[in-house]
Amino acid sequence: MTMKQGRVNASQLFGLGIISMLATLLLTVPGELLRLAGRGAWWTPLVAAVPAVPFAYAVGKRAGKQGDAVALLRRLLGPFVSRVLLLLVWLAVAIDMAIITREVAEGASASFSSAIVPMPVLVALVLVPGMWLAWLGPVAIGRVATVISAGIIVTYVVGFLAIVPLMHVLWTRPVIPTDARFLGGAPIELSWLWLIEPALIGVLIMHEVQPSARRVAGGILAGATASGAILLSGAIWLVIADFGPTRAAEFAVPILHTAKELPYSIHLERIDSLVITVELLGALVKVGLFLWIWARVSEGIVRVRTAYLLPSLAVASGISSIVMFANPLALDRSIYSYGLYILPTFFVLMAVSYLPSRTWASRSPV
């Protein structure tokens, strides 16, 4: 048994971008997001897309049909160095998987399941569809992601329309805080967080699938833009829904003061369940996507049959999510730091993508 390979198109990549970039943050940390990012939150995915898009474009154009990022690193850097880099990626994805699994399980429990369900059961429920998706491969994940991301967009458009009469266009401008934050006012931690996911998806899926480099880059950029727009309405919506208009207004977000004036804000909590339903679906799909990425990276490090690999990774993810993040503080510490493990690989790929064509040609197996 091997994981199914396949090819995704630009719209599916767009859907994957939205799901991977939004699902975790919207489901798990809306309050945290606003606390950290404030009015700059919506700007953050676009800031992350600034390096991610040319990176994906350059690597995609150069790599051509020479395999995915795992094969590419091995070919260019040799088995040892590539394994070291992949090990760092592996570590980042492993932590990410544990965080996602834990947060989705907790989110599902808090939002939907009043019955007392043990955490291991919830974690298993989160991992089962993910494992199935990972086994079905990127095409099935892409197909599911397209529809669910469309659902997310529609849901947030409705949410946005509900609050837009009370908004002012100037509120959407990014704010550069006085304490000299990173690019364009987006908080540095969140920028890294956003950066990882489009880069990972772009590189891994792009080389798996071989659409044109322009489309991959376009897909990521479009995903980032949509994510920003959705975040603008979604974060406000969720905070109002989660904390109530009065408490939400106490956050350091001037825009939320207007929420008190919303005549229908009392209904938001109920409608919020529908919103969370769509997000939950997105988060479950994201688990599948990242499990697939994790398995691909693992295959690049050690040769293991997929039949053993996927269940092992799922079990490892389940156990680590239960053990590592039983303490919420541990999760808070990890969520903004694990992405750093992936940066060396990112920069190496970025650098090699600008090597002269001859270098690529001479190393091509063809």
Q: Is 295 in the site for another protein (CB under 8 A)?
A: no
Q: Is 144 in the site for another protein (CB under 8 A)?
A: yes
| Least gap, CB of 9 to another protein (angstroms) | 5
Residues 28, 44, 146, 298: which binds another protein (CB under 8 A)? 146
Q: Is 270 in the site for another protein (CB under 8 A)?
A: yes
Applying the rule CB under 8 A, the residues between 5 and 24 that interact with another protein are: 6-9, 11-12
Our CB check for another protein shows the closer of 95 and 322 to be 322
Q: Is 116 in the site for another protein (CB under 8 A)?
A: no
Q: Is 280 in the site for another protein (CB under 8 A)?
A: yes
Instruction: Print the binding letters for residues 198-227 with another protein: x by CB under 8 A, - otherwise.
Output: -----------xxx----------------
Our CB check for another protein shows the closer of 65 and 303 to be 65
* Cα angle 101, 131, 19; round to 5: 60
CB of 323 within 8 A of CB of 94?
no
Distance CA 216, CA 221 (A): 9
Which one of 183-191, 278-286, 292-300, 311-319 is the stretch in contact with another protein (CB under 8 A)? 278-286
Number of residues that bind another protein (CB under 8 A): 37
* Ramachandran sector of residue 2 (left: φ over 0; alpha: ψ -120 to 50; beta: rest): beta
Helix extents (H) in the chain: 10-28, 30-37, 44-63, 69-111, 119-136, 138-163, 188-209, 213-249, 268-301, 306-324, 328-335, 343-352, 357-363
Q: Is 246 in the site for another protein (CB under 8 A)?
A: no
134 closest CA partner among 321, 296, 353: 296
Instruction: Render 160-208 in DSSP notation, one character per residue.
Output: HHHHGGG--GGGGS----TT--SGGG--HHHHHHHHHHHHHHHHHHHHH
Interacting residue ranges for another protein, rule: CB under 8 A: 6-9, 11-12, 108-109, 111-115, 117, 125, 128-129, 132-133, 136, 139-140, 142-144, 146-147, 209-211, 270, 273, 277, 280-281, 284-285
